[in-house]
Structure formats: structure tokens, C-alpha cells
């Protein structure tokens, strides 16, 4: 019991809140990600969900990313509530703090976060799509077959969706597959391309430039603005890849 509450305290002490401009702030839950990805992601998503549940007046939206949760707010709504602008903003950050802290202390283990879904993503690793398999092979000293087997048997979690709509950053890449990004990024990458960028793997949702090593392609659509939610996966979801043939790729293509 004693130990549990001190860990919880330790966690809240390391938590940092700082402004991201005058209309947003960042709750940085942890300093590091790579040393404990699973635990850090759980903690970040827990904070995300606690803030969602708290429904603090003036909050417009929340967005988690690896170690932090961004809180976008309507400053006019927030500042109107208090006597001075300074006082009102202080009060607002206090509300954010208290939405996270007591709950973390009391129900750290009990509060059920939204259960992460398990999603299987079919990927065709044919050389036509896996144009950088040779580059990864050279760097990792593995055969292309071994790379495909390792990548498609890994267990991944969605660590973050962003910089563009639906870009899926996955934690859990087998360490021996890590390969540095290409020196010169490609000008155009086809949507659905699966890549390795350093110690991460991810999927490009849109036609965009990019520097990751492309090893395959999924026929599924990662982002569709008319769907709810608009992305195939959400932060925290568990993902597995299933190697498929070129024929299956064509038949699944959306």
C-alpha cells in the first residue's frame, strides 16, 4: 500500500504542465518513452482518458502523443471565468492537475482505461512494395525473408497518430530490425506503405514525402474523413501484421 502510493506520488511529481502557445498546454506525463514504452503509453492514455472524463469547461480537444497529452482550450471561455486573466488561467491548470492527480493516486490500478483493440493489418511484402527491403537487409545483416518473418510476427502498439491525418506510429519493432531513415527522403510515397524509420515502424496514410525505409504495403485505408473514427487504428490499439500475397492485396484493396 505504502509503496503503491509513493510510486503514484513519484509519477505526479515528474509530471509537467507547460503552455503550448496561449490557447493550448501540454501535460508531459513522462520524460522518456523508449525505456518503458508499454507502461508509458498506458500512463499517457490514462491521463488522456481522465481529462476526457473530467470535461473541464473551456477544453476544446485533447491529443495524446507518446509521453504527453496536449490540451487545446478556448482562452476566451477559460479567461472569462475568473477575476483576472492570470487568476483564471491558474485556476484552469489547477483543474487539469486535480483531474489527473487524485484519480491516479486512488484508482491507479482500478480505473479501467478504454480497452485497447487488437487489429490485424494485412501487408504485402512483395519487392514491388518493399522497395527498401534490400537496404534494411544490408543494414540489419538479415535476409529479406527473415525481415518479413520478424516484422510480421512482431507485436505492436499504436504509440501516436500524427503529424498528418492517420499516420500510424507503432512501438514494438524487433530491435534487430531498426534501420536509420534514408538520407534523402522520397518525394512521394504511396498511401498504405509500411516503413521502418529508426527504431519505429509505421504506415503512411496519404500521398506524402517521407524518409522511412519501405518494406511493404497494406491495402487498407488508414484515414477516411467521412468515417467515425476517421482512422483505422487509435493510440493504444494493439496491432499485428499478416503477410499477404499480391493476389490477396488486390482483392482487399479499398
Partner 1 sequence: MRNAEVTPRDPSTALGTPAVVERAGFLTSVQDLGRTGSRQFGVSTSGALDPFALRVANLLVGNDEGAAGLEITLGGLQLRFEDERIIAWCGGEFDVQIGSRALPAGHVAIVKAGDELKFGRPQTGCRCWLAISGGIDVPDVLGSRSTDLRANFGGLEGRMLRDGDQLSLGAFQRSQTAAAEDISSWSGPHDWVSPAKRYPILRFFRGVDWHRFNALTLQHFTGEQFTVSPDSDRMGVRLEGPELKREDETDLISEAVAPGTIQVPPSGKPILLLRDCQTIGGYPKMAHVITVDLGIAAQLRAGDGTRFFEVSLQDAHQLLMERQRDLERFRVGLSLQRT
User: Is residue 183 a contact point for partner 1 (CB under 8 A)?
Assistant: no
Q: Is 70 one of the binding residues for partner 1 (CB under 8 A)?
A: yes
What is the rounded CA–CA span in Å between residue 147 and residue 145?
Answer: 5
24 binds partner 1 (CB under 8 A): yes
- Pick from 230, 238, 240, 248: which binds partner 1 (CB under 8 A)? 230
Name the residue nearer to partner 1 (CB basis): 85 or 111: 85
Q: Which positions ≥6 away from 165 have C-beta within 8 Å?
A: 205, 206, 223, 225, 230, 231
Contact flag: residue 79 with partner 1 (CB under 8 A): yes
- By CB under 8 A, name the one of 26, 137, 150, 243 that touches partner 1: 26
CB of 204 to partner 1, least distance (A): 12
Q: CA-CA distance, 42 to 99, in Å (whole number)?
A: 17
**DSSP structure class, residue 198:** B
Find residue 200's DSSP bridge partners: 197
Site string for partner 1, 130-149 (x = CB under 8 A): --------------------
In the complex with partner 1, the residue whose CB is nearer, 49 or 213, is 49
- Site track 88-117 with partner 1 (rule: CB under 8 A), x = hit: -x----------------------------
End-to-end CA gap in the chain: 52
- Residue 36 is a binding residue for partner 1 (CB under 8 A): no
Q: What is the phi/psi pair of residue 17, to 5°?
A: -120, 125
Q: Helix or strand or coil: residue 109?
A: coil
Sheet holding 59-65, edge to edge: 16-19, 24-28, 68-73, 59-65
Among 5, 7, 19, 143, binds partner 1 (CB under 8 A): 19
What is the CB-side half-sphere exposure of residue 217 using CA atoms within 13 A?
Answer: 24
Residue 144 C-alpha cell reads as 529479406
Closer residue to partner 1, CB minimum distance, 73 or 125: 73
Q: Which of residues 194-223 bind partner 1 (CB under 8 A)?
A: 205-206, 208, 223
Kindly give, in sequence order, each residue whose CB lies less than 8 Å from that of residue 92, ignoring residues fewer than 6 positions away. Answer: 56, 58, 73, 78, 81
Segment interacting with partner 1, rule: CB under 8 A, options 112-120, 172-180, 181-189, 229-237: 229-237
Binding-site ranges for partner 1 (CB under 8 A): 18-24, 26, 28, 32-33, 60-68, 70, 72, 75-76, 79-80, 85-86, 89, 160-167, 169, 205-206, 208, 223, 225-226, 229-231, 234-235
Amino acid at each position: 500500500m505504502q509503496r503503491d502510493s509513493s510510486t503514484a506520488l513519484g509519477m505526479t511529481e515528474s509530471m509537467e504542465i507547460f503552455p503550448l502557445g496561449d490557447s493550448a498546454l501540454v501535460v508531459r506525463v513522462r520524460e522518456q518513452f523508449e525505456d518503458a514504452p508499454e507502461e508509458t503509453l498506458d500512463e499517457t492514455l490514462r491521463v488522456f482518458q481522465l481529462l476526457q472524463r473530467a470535461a473541464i469547461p473551456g477544453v476544446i480537444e485533447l491529443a495524446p502523443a507518446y509521453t504527453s497529452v496536449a490540451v487545446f482550450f478556448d482562452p476566451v471561455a477559460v479567461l472569462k471565468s475568473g477575476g483576472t486573466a492570470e487568476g483564471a488561467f491558474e485556476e484552469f491548470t489547477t483543474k487539469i492537475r486535480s483531474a489527473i492527480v487524485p484519480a491516479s493516486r486512488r484508482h491507479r490500478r482500478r480505473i479501467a482505461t478504454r480497452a485497447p483493440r487488437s487489429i490485424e493489418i494485412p501487408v504485402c511484402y512483395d519487392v514491388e512494395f518493399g522497395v527498401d527491403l534490400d537496404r534494411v537487409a544490408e543494414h540489419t545483416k538479415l535476409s529479406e525473408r527473415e525481415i518479413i518473418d520478424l516484422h510480421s510476427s512482431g507485436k505492436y502498439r499504436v504509440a501516436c497518430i500524427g503529424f498528418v491525418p492517420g499516420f500510424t506510429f507503432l512501438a514494438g519493432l524487433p530491435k534487430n530490425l531498426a534501420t536509420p531513415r534514408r538520407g534523402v527522403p522520397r518525394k512521394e510515397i504511396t498511401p498504405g506503405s509500411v516503413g521502418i524509420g529508426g527504431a519505429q515502424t509505421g504506415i503512411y496514410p496519404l500521398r506524402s514525402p517521407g524518409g522511412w525505409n519501405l518494406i511493404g504495403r497494406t491495402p487498407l485505408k488508414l484515414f477516411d474523413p467521412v468515417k467515425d473514427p476517421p482512422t483505422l487504428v487509435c493510440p493504444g490499439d494493439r496491432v499485428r501484421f499478416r503477410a499477404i500475397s499480391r493476389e490477396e492485396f488486390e482483392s482487399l484493396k479499398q
